[in-house]
Structure 1
Amino acid sequence: MLFHDVIAQALRDHGITDVFGVMGDANLYMMDSFQRHAGCHFYSVSHESGAVLAANGYARATGGVGVASVTHGPAFTNIVTALVEGVRERTPILVVAGDTAVVDKDNFQNISQRDVTIPTGAGFEQVRSVKTVCEDVAVAVHRALNERRPVVLNVPVDFQWQEAKYAPPAGPRWSGHQQLAPSQAALEDALGIIASARRPVVLAGRGASSEESRAALVRLADRIGAPLATTLRARDLFRGEPHNLGICGTLSHEVALQALTDADCLITFGAGLNRWTTAEGSILADKAVVQVDSESAALGRFQVVDAMVQGDAGAVADLIGDLLDEAEVKPTGYASPELAAKLAARSDADFTDASTDRTVDHRSAILKLDAAFPQDRTLVFDGGRFVMKCFSMFHVSHPSDYHHTVNFGSIGLGMGTAIGAATGSGKPTLLITGDGGFMLGGLAEFNTAVRHKLDLVVVMFNDGAYGAEHIQFRNKDMDPTSSTFDWPEFAPVADALGGKGYTVRNLAELDAVIAELPARDRPVLIDIKLDPDKVTAH
């Protein structure tokens, strides 16, 4: 076999069926060979960053590894921001990167790709020779899955047409992280705190968002009489439960914030307790905190806590419940009928609409779109000032259907992520972006969604400005003109790229567009005009 056929076979035998990428002279034969395998697909994108972002979205949607492939030099440096996003999201991504030949020292695309990779926090694996390629692929795949971060597999271009021998993957296939039994001492510390609590709250993060963990946490909350809350990444895990407080921290609504403030104990499962979840630590003030996580590095990482238990969320929750039964500890009643009534009475629609005949209040648009779009959907957010209300007002059926792209504080990462998430989930996908983010990264990849026939609806909240900068100028009574843009009309652009574009200037036009969405047969862009002085985070 030739090397490029061997590496393609190795990818396939690791269960990889989908790769996103941009072809160049250092990866084109590998990717051509890969897509000739039955059931394998190479999804060509427009920009290398989009390839890694798509692999990111795919991995999030499927729970497996996402794979991207790029060539060398400037193609590789184009993926730096996407690598950082993947590292901070803790997404298992394999980047098959072509590199220049070692002997070609004068190649004008030469750059040390390892030295580019390491500052991003991603891992790096070098294909050492044609003899070691199968082993090198196996190590890179397992590292990505085990370390939960992007890993670059660096492949010199001069290997592609050399002869190589194929060896199937040796050893067991990846079977996921294995459960750890918590220590008895740690359990007893946690139990003492929980048993003495009078106003406990159970908080779930992404590490406790499986169906099994959800059921166990609901059982524990019922057992101790505790309301339930989640981090942003575990959003809507407890939707439908009568004592669901929703998102904990800076995004908490007033009823939830009062219940969290009054609590005397927070029992957390798979939650990092970062500054946003804890509202700069204020949520944890004057209360005991028990932290349960399967990863030791997560325990006490952001906050000092009173008890730390390493173990699987669901298993530990059930163990705690059993121990409370043995000790005959009574429920607290903090999850009261009165609290349930307050939660049922509040509404996201409790605001004064600021729409006009020329601009739309984005909060009203969110409510309409959230209600109209299929509930079994994939939801992706780009970055921008608009996103604060999106965080709290859009909903999903399960946390695994939710993906945001603000881990590095960047805009423009949503479209690539949405392409991968739509491919991996097979569900209707709703991307919420701003005009700046769309121009930065969405425009390049909208036609990618068209070419690959994805069921994608892009909602652009268009205030004609970089909104965060606009409001800073306004707050200091300065001229915001330099933060504003005279964009083209985006609906005809979407049409020209092969999709369907709509322009929305008022709520009546939005209703008309929503009525047409069920008949869509291609990617859709909805350009919703906003007033930059009326985009509120509150």
Structure 2
Amino acid sequence: MKAADAVAQLLSDYGVTQAFGLMGDANMDYLSVFIEQNPGSYLPAIDERSAVAMASGYSRTTGKIGVVSVTHGPGAANTVGPLIEAVRANDAVLLLTGDTPSNQPSHAQDIDLAGLFSATGAAFHRVRSSSQLVADITRALHFVDSMNTPMVLNIPVDFLTDDVDYGGYQRSELEHSRLQPTPDALDNALGALVQSSRPLVLAGRGAVRSDARDSLIALADKIGAPLATSVGGKDLFFGHPYDLGVMGGLSHPWAAEVIAQADCIISFGASLNDFTTMTGGFLSDKTLIQCDTSASSFDRWCTPDFSVLGDATSTATAMVEMLEEAEYKAENPFRERVLDECDIRERSNNVVDASGAEPLSPQLAAHLIDRHLPTDRVIVMDTGRFAISVWKHVHAEQPTDFVHTLTWAAIGLGLSTAIGVSVANKHRLTAALVGDGGGMMGLIELATAVKAKLPLAVFVFNDSAYGAEYMKLEEKGIDVRHSFIDLPDFVAVAQGLGASAVQVNDRAELERALEGVSTIESPTVFNIILDPAAEF
């Protein structure tokens, strides 16, 4: 079997049913075979940057490997930005690329791929010979699948025409056992927890991956604690009466007050980075108990008072069992004292409704979008100033249905990520929320979404400025006009790319435009005009 055939066959045999990429000299041979073997399973992007973002979105919402293939040189170089985002978000992405032909040392597209990708944090491996090709791809797939982290596999183009042995591939069913905490670590953590009078349970993406929602709620109920999440765990506790939402810079003001009153935070699967802790401010005068499956997580951003190495579900379940055995009962629960039968979701909505006067505010726009979207929606968020409002007022029923590109804080990845998410969720609506700057960066991929006939709603929060820079210039007393951007008409560009599009100037127009949003079957853009001076 030719090596190119073996690459395609191995991907198929491993169970890869969807791939993304952009064809070039380094990958055209095996991509062509894969496409022929798996009709409709490959989505070509317009640029490589988008292809990696699509693979990340696909992986994030499915839990499967996001496979993306690009060519050498410029094609590989274009992937660096979204690959960094994928690394920091721990997305299971396998990026296949290749060296230029070895018999052309002066090839115009030659570049040191290992050096190029070294700064991204992604694992990198170069296939050393065609005889190692099948084994190396197998190991790469296993690595990405088990470690939930991106890897770049460099398949030199020279090898693809070689004959290789391929005896078929049988996927081994590995038994995934949950990491159990040690009794001593549990005793120490629980001793501190029961001594607190104002505990708070915090969940991150590790808790989402552990499917720990019910276990963490049981623990919170037992100790009388409100619940909060990091950005990575957003909406894990959606609908729970004591859900505070996201902890950090994106907290509701009233939720931040509750968090500030806590005297103990027990964290499960959250990195506790500066965004979550407000550069340590939310940890001040609090006992911190950190539970995680990786010892390297402890002391990375802050030093916990007590650390528990264990899976979130296993750890929380064990804690509840130990508390029940001790017949522990929280006296005068903290959450009831501070929230007193408050419906948090309604409180959030009332704040938005109170600010609903014209002109249209970003908070109200976000609230109206959330109210009109179908319940079974998937949300994808780009990064930018607009996110300050949208994060607080737009929700998903499941945390895996809320996908963001905030990890590296790079604008422009949202729309492409949403396309990858929508490919995995063609039976329901994907809503991409983007700013005007980041939205225009990714708008070209609307053509890809149109071609794929995706049910995709794109909401552009358009204030005709780079919002974060607007705020910072204003703080510095510098003319904010330097942050203004004169972009093409989103509606005209979207329509030119084959999508439906509508411009929204006020609340009435937005509500009219949203009336049919739940029945969208093809890409549709909502260009929402906002004032850059409005409070975000």
Q: TM-score scaled by structure 1?
A: 0.94
Which residue is 1:164 aligned to?
Answer: 164
Which residue is 1:299 aligned to?
Answer: 298
Which residue is 1:65 aligned to?
Answer: 65
Q: Distance in 1 between matches of 2:228 and 2:457?
A: 30
CA distance 1:56–1:379, change in 2 (3 Å)? same
| Residues 1:250 and 2:249 are matched in the alignment | yes
Q: Distance in 2 between matches of 1:173 and 1:141?
A: 14
Q: In the comparison of the two structures, how many residue pairs are matched?
A: 532
Q: How does 1:342-381 map to 2 (within 5 A)?
A: 342-344=342-344, 346-350=347-351, 353=355, 356=358, 360-381=360-381
1:19–1:68 contact (8 Å) kept in structure 2: yes
1:43 match: secondary structure: strand
Which residue is 1:391 aligned to?
Answer: 391
Which residue is 1:190 aligned to?
Answer: 189
Structure 2: gaps of 5 or more residues? none
Q: Distance in 2 between matches of 1:211 and 1:310?
A: 14
**Comparing 445-454 and 318-327, the one that deviates more:** 318-327
Which residue is 1:235 aligned to?
Answer: 234
1:163 match: secondary structure: coil
**Comparing 209-218 and 275-284, the one that deviates more:** 209-218
Which residue is 1:434 aligned to?
Answer: 435
Structure 1: gaps of 5 or more residues? none
Shift of 1:39: 6.2
Letter aligned with residue 429 of structure 2? P
1:255–1:342 contact (8 Å) kept in structure 2: no
Which residue is 1:76 aligned to?
Answer: 76
Which residue is 2:452 aligned to?
Answer: 452
1:412–1:439 contact (8 Å) kept in structure 2: yes
Identity, in percent, stands at 38
CA distance 1:385–1:6, change in 2 (3 Å)? same
1:209–1:237 contact (8 Å) kept in structure 2: yes
Q: Distance in 2 between matches of 1:401 and 1:416?
A: 16
Q: Deviation per CA, 1:322-351: give whole Å up to 9, x if none.
A: 111222222232232662434546224425
Shift of 1:162: 2.3
CA distance 1:476–1:317, change in 2 (3 Å)? closer
CA distance 1:210–1:111, change in 2 (3 Å)? closer
Letter aligned with residue 456 of structure 2? L
Q: Distance in 2 between matches of 1:389 and 1:499?
A: 26
Q: How does 1:69-148 map to 2 (within 5 A)?
A: 69-148=69-148
1:243–1:340 contact (8 Å) kept in structure 2: no
Letter aligned with residue 30 of structure 2? M
2:456–2:521 contact (8 Å) kept in structure 1: no
| Residues 1:501 and 2:501 are matched in the alignment | yes
1:308 match: secondary structure: strand
1:128–1:136 contact (8 Å) kept in structure 2: no
Shift of 1:172: 2.4
Q: TM-score scaled by structure 2?
A: 0.95
1:459 match: secondary structure: strand
Shift of 1:5: 0.7
| Residues 1:224 and 2:223 are matched in the alignment | yes
Q: Deviation per CA, 1:35-60: give whole Å up to 9, x if none.
A: 22246611011000011111110110
1:488 match: secondary structure: coil
Q: Deviation per CA, 1:439-493: give whole Å up to 9, x if none.
A: 22x2221111111111111100111121222233333443333322222221122
Letter aligned with residue 291 of structure 2? V
**Comparing 267-276 and 516-525, the one that deviates more:** 516-525
Q: Distance in 2 between matches of 1:237 and 1:296?
A: 24
2:14–2:171 contact (8 Å) kept in structure 1: no
Letter aligned with residue 478 of structure 1? I
1:142 match: secondary structure: helix
Q: Distance in 2 between matches of 1:193 and 1:144?
A: 37
2:429–2:455 contact (8 Å) kept in structure 1: yes
Letter aligned with residue 229 of structure 1? A
Q: Distance in 1 between matches of 2:121 and 2:210?
A: 31
1:142–1:174 contact (8 Å) kept in structure 2: no
Letter aligned with residue 346 of structure 1? R
1:255–1:343 contact (8 Å) kept in structure 2: no
Q: Deviation per CA, 1:220-252: give whole Å up to 9, x if none.
A: 111122221111221121122222222222222
Shift of 1:258: 2.6
How large is the Cα RMSD of the aligned pairs? 1.9
Which residue is 1:314 aligned to?
Answer: 313
